[in-house]
Amino acid sequence: MNIAVVVSEFNEKVTSRMLAVAQEKAITLKLKILYTCKVPGAYDMPIIVDSLLQKNDIDAVVTLGAIIKGQTKHDEVISHSTAQALTALSIKYQKPVSLGISGPGMQERHAYARIRPVAERAVEAVVKISYELKRIQK
């Protein structure tokens, strides 16, 4: 299975570690990462994900990011709009797009604690969803 990974550069100390975990998990699951794309923040992911999903050699896209709470509700706006856009793209192209984005409402210490579980589940999710899509489309 060929996948792409889109990772946010915002909160890079967290997301770079998420990327390393996702790459390890992909190797374990015998997935081939054809593209690793970096974007400024989670909000910027949908346009890159859209482009990747149009490629015939990409079966799924893993997204990785960490949206940490600030002094306003901006984290909620970013989280909700990004999740909604990624869901719409997954449905449009009938290809899995995982939501490996932690937050909203998360403090920085929580982001570090979620690096491994969120990144691993994001990779596992595209495999499981891909399997189910193939199973029901036969």
Which residues are catalytically annotated?
74
Q: What are phi and psi of 104, to 5 degrees?
A: -85, 180
Distance, in Å, from the CA atom of 116 to the CA atom of 12, rounded to the nearest integer, reads: 15
- Look at the block and give the residue holding tokens 């910027």: 44
Quick one: CA dihedral 69, 44, 6, 10, positive or negative? Answer: negative
Tokens 């346009």 -> residue: 47
In Å, how far from its chain's centre is CA 15? 11
CA distance 127 to 138: 17
Give the position of tokens 């060929």: 2
Q: Cβ contacts of residue 30 below 8 Å, gap of 6+? A: 1
